[in-house]
Amino acid sequence: MFLITLFALAGLIEAQVPGLDFGPVFMMQRTTSYLVEYSGVLRVPKVPDSPKGLVVVWPGINTDARPTNLVQTCIGAGSAIKSFCPGGKVAANQWCGFTSTNIGITAQRSGKGVPINENTDLLIAYKYDETTKQFAQTLTIDGKEVSRQSIAVGKGNRFNTAVEVQYGFSGTVLQHTYKNNTFKFAAADPGFPKSIMKAGGTTYSPPASADGGKTWTVDLITIPDSSYGGARSAKGKAGRGS
pLDDT in tens, 10-45: 333 344 577 889 999 999 999 999 999 999 999 999
pLDDT in tens, 44-58: 999 998 767 899 999
Residue 3, in any domain of the structure: no
We report the CATH number of the domain holding residue 215 as: 2.60.120
Query: Distance (Å, rounded) from C-alpha 48 to C-alpha 41?
Result: 20
The answer, yes or no, to whether residue 235 has pLDDT greater than 90, is no
Residue 159, in any domain of the structure: yes
Residue 11, in any domain of the structure: no
What was the pLDDT predicted at 18?
A: 77
Query: Distance (Å, rounded) from C-alpha 59 to C-alpha 2?
Result: 14
Which pTM does this prediction carry?
0.89
pLDDT tier, 78 (very low <50, low <70, confident <90, very high otherwise) = confident
Strands 54-63 and 156-166: antiparallel
Residue 15, in any domain of the structure: no
The CB density around residue 103, as the number of other CB atoms within 10 Å, is: 16
Residue 16, in any domain of the structure: no
Which of the 8 DSSP states describes residue 31?
A: -
Query: Distance (Å, rounded) from C-alpha 120 to C-alpha 44?
Result: 6
Number of domains in the chain: 1
List the domain range (segments joined by +) for residue 123: 21-241
Cβ atoms 53, 169 nearer than 8 A: yes
Listed residue (154, 159, 216) closest to 187, CA to CA: 216
Residue 1, in any domain of the structure: no
Strands 74-78 and 54-63: antiparallel
Terminal-residue alpha carbon distance, the chain = 32
pLDDT tier, 242 (very low <50, low <70, confident <90, very high otherwise) = very low
Q: How far is CA 181 from CA 112, 125, 177, 208, 218, in A?
A: 24, 10, 10, 11, 5
Residue 12, in any domain of the structure: no
Cβ atoms 137, 128 nearer than 8 A: no
pLDDT over 70 for what percent of the chain?
85
Residue 13, in any domain of the structure: no
